[in-house]
Structure 1
Amino acid sequence: GIEPIRLVELLPSFTSRSPIECRLIEVDLSQKPDYEALSYVWGDPSRTIAICVDYCKMEVTENLWSALFRLRLKRKPKVIWADALCIDQQSTDDKRRQVQIMRDVYKTASQVIIWLGEHTDSSEILHCAKELQTDEELAQMNASCEQPSQIAALSHLLQRPWFSRTW
């Protein structure tokens, strides 16, 4: 059978000033739980912010904190899978087991959220690219993207760390 996994129940908050709070829940992937998987880069391990996990303080990287902050809903919990929280980072055995089933974790998710980092001026290029469905449409956009600022924005976006990471 498939190993059980932990998911994060990101608790809601009506105010952005509230600390990030979550609960870990254990589920069986074969039961097709409803969750979204988060794909992101950890970022600088020396730059952390505290969140509350199961009523305990836990340090997470600034990049993960930003993703959780942006994903948190106002009225209801959001269930996600994020490796830094859902895999016991102190346990070599847990890391080994969970890495072996990571493909299933992403495949079973209702969707995968790619967190590229906080919004910058270059993020605007995503608005003109979000409707692209085919390589032909991309080529048409490329041909019409004559403004150097758009090309520079796309180049800057593609230089974000998420695009250069390896599995």
Structure 2
Amino acid sequence: GRFHDSHDEVFAGLEPYKHKPLGSPTSFRLLLLKSGSKGPLECDLIEHSVDTVLKFDAVSYTWGSPLPPRYIKCDGKSLQITQNCEDALYKIRLPSRGRLIWVDSICIDQTAENNEEKNQQLQLMGHIYGHASHVLAWIGPGN
């Protein structure tokens, strides 16, 4: 079993996270993954403009099955993610400082009613990957 299974029930009980609308078509969200070596994943989502110069890493991975759902604490609320995303975030989390990253499944509002944002964000993906300090490819946990 995974050491982080027990946190799911706590986070699933929080108010669900809802993405705030982006301020402009050239804005995108970055995820500030809070530091830690054990314990639950916590993050904040921060809006940035493509004009802002920031150091961040982009994470590429296959979404995998949405079941069973996993939860992280985002801006104090519960955000549902996939097991594969959770595994990747645990692997790249830094023990002593936060890490600014871009993960499409979290940074883009994936709700069905927000196709307009999804389409705008897809147009920015080349810029986002091109301006990332590193692109981290997660192929899954080793055996």
2:141 equivalent in structure 1: 118
Cα deviation, residue 32, structure 1: 2.1
Q: Is 1:83 aligned to residue 109 of structure 2?
A: no
From 106, 123, 127, the equivalent of 2:129 is 106
- Normalising to structure 2: TM-score of the pair? 0.79
Matches within 5 A, 1:12-31: 12-13=35-36, 15-16=37-38, 18-31=39-52
Cα root mean square deviation, aligned:
1.3
What 5-or-longer segments of structure 1 have no aligned partner? 121-167
Query: Is 1:72 the counterpart of 2:93 in the alignment?
Result: yes
Displacement of 1:98 after TM fit?
A: 0.1
TM-score computed with the length of structure 1 as normaliser: 0.68
State how far apart, in whole Å, the 1-side matches of 2:25 and 2:54 are. 13
- Name the SS for the 1:39 alignment partner: strand
Q: Which amino acid aligns with 1:94?
A: E
Question: Which position in structure 1 is the counterpart of 2:62?
Answer: 41
Identity %: 34
Amino acid at match of 1:76: R
Q: C-alpha offsets along residues 86-140 of structure 1, whole Å, 9 cap, x if unaligned? A: 00111111101000111111001011000000013xxxxxxxxxxxxxxxxxxxx
Query: Higher strand fraction: Structure 1 or Structure 2?
Result: 2
Q: Structure 1: which 4+ aligned runs deviate by more than 3 Å?
A: none
Alignment-derived partner of residue 53 in structure 1? 74
Q: What is the CA-CA distance between 1:6 and the residue it aligns to?
A: 0.2
Structure index of larger Rg: 1
In structure 2, C-alpha distance between the alignment counterparts of 1:92 and 1:62, rounded to whole Å? 24
Residues 1:62 and 2:88 aligned together: no
CA distance in structure 1 between the partners assigned to 2:60 and 2:48 by the alignment: 19
2:4 corresponds to: none
What SS is found at the alignment partner of 2:127?
helix
Q: Is the 8 A contact 1:29 1:108 kept in 2?
A: no
CA contact (8 A) 1:2 1:30 kept: no
Structure 1 counterpart of 2:108, which letter? I
Aligned residues: 118
Distance 1:47 1:96 in 2: 27
